[in-house]
Structure formats: structure tokens, C-alpha cells
Amino acid sequence: MVEVNGFDMYVEESGAGEPLILLHAFGGCGEENWGAFVADLARHYRVIVPDLRGHGRSTNPSGEFSHRQSAEDVLALAGSLGIDRFRAMGISSGGMALLHVAVNAPERIQSLVLIGTPMEFGEHSRAMIRASARSAEMHQLWRPCVSRGEEQLAELAEQFLGFADVYDDMNLTLQDLGLVTTPTLIVHGDRDMIFPVEGALAMYRGIPESTLWIVPVGQHVPIYGPVAPEFLRTALLHLRAN
């Protein structure tokens, strides 16, 4: 546990060398979302896998969650670990937090991989969030990472539902993306039902040093199953090249 910005953040570390921070999706946790990749990544990097505030085993006394605040939490975690610059990969909400870091503190991230990450929530995404936030299917997806029972699950559901009506969190513009100097790999499924692939294309055009990998027949976060070895190979090529 590391005390960060008024809450206790659970962090797992493995490997040695230059730091690589891995952020999970909303409702997920580091171990569940990144466990399949950590051992291979730890052969090359000091891998740091936190649970974002209110997720997994991290606390959240405020009961609030935003991607902007998560970006501040990541920077505070890096500072507490004595890390000035780091490489990073983020899945969905984890990528959104890292995107805020890359816009506001690009000098801190040496190389970046964004997976299923939007620059903004469009009306289609907001409608999908409203429809799924309290669904049994979504809760079942989150349940493996819930450490504090139904109260934590209910809090996450309300926070997720709140994204549908918040317009000052994920509202980045092409002008904002132009501030990102970090070499960025964008990974997106061509059949992402939450964040349509057109948004990934806009991000690719907006971030000066970016590479776009559209995964064929890929849903939201298309890095698991048969595509996992190719994702690992591609991500390592990007991280090591920068």
C-alpha cells in the first residue's frame, strides 16, 4: 500500500530496470487486467501495477472518481516511488488517465500505449454507459476485482453511470492532443461497441508521434485470447523503440 492523495493505493511490482506503469480498466484491477502480461513485461522493465482509487484493494474515502484525478494519482504514485519519467500502458479508463498525463505533463511519460481509449465521450458512448452501468453482465465483469463486497460494487456502478452526464472529464480536443509529445501506440478494436473506432482514428491524427493499430474483428480492449501474443510483441517493440 502506498498513501497517495488522501487514499491508500494498492501496488504490485515485479522485474527490474526502467519503470513501466500499467493501468487497468474501470471496474477492473491490476492483477485481473494485466496478469497475463506481467511476467513477460517484467523481463524487460520494472513493472508497476496499481489499483486505481476505489478499485481492487485501493481505498477511496472521497467516494468520487474521475480520469483527471486518476492522472494526478498516477503522478503522485510515481513521485512517491522516486520515479521521474516512466513508460506506461493503459486499458480503457487507465488509458484515459494516462492521456490526461500525456496532455498536461508530457515530459513525464517516455512512451505510451493506449488500449480502447477515447479522447472524449460522445453521445453514443454515453448511451452505452447508461444502458450497462447497473446491468448484471457489467457487475459480473467487475466482481473478480471487488475486494470489499457489494458496497464497493454499488459505488463503482454509480461512478460509472455518472460518466454519462459529466462533460469536464473526458473532453479532450485535437488542440489538446497536439500537446502530446510522447510517442504513442493506439490499439483499438474495429468493432468496439462502447468507443467507436472513428475516435481512435481522430486521436491518431491529433497526436503528433502516434501509431494506430486497428485490430480486425476486435471488440473493446482487443488484447486478450488469440491476439495476446501479437499485442505483447507489438507493445514491446513500441516501448523499446522509444
Average pLDDT for consecutive 10-residue bins of the chain (242 residues)?
Answer: 97 98 98 98 98 98 97 98 98 98 97 98 96 94 95 97 96 96 98 97 97 97 97 97 79
Q: Is residue 154 part of a domain?
A: no
User: Quick one: pLDDT at residue 217?
Assistant: 96
C-alpha cell at 57: 484493494
Q: Is residue 142 part of a domain?
A: no
Q: What's the CATH code of the domain at 53?
A: 3.40.50.1820
- What pTM was estimated for this model as a whole? 0.97
Number of independent structural domains in the chain: 1
User: Quick one: pLDDT at residue 22?
Assistant: 98
Give residue-wise pLDDT tens across range 178-211: 999 999 999 999 999 999 999 999 999 999 999 9
Q: Is residue 202 part of a domain?
A: yes
Q: Is residue 136 part of a domain?
A: no
- CA-to-CA distance for 9 and 40, rounded, in angstroms? 24
Question: Measuring CA to CA, how many Å separate 3 from each of 82, 136, 150, 241?
Answer: 14, 33, 24, 33
- Provide the domain limits for residue 71: 2-121+171-241
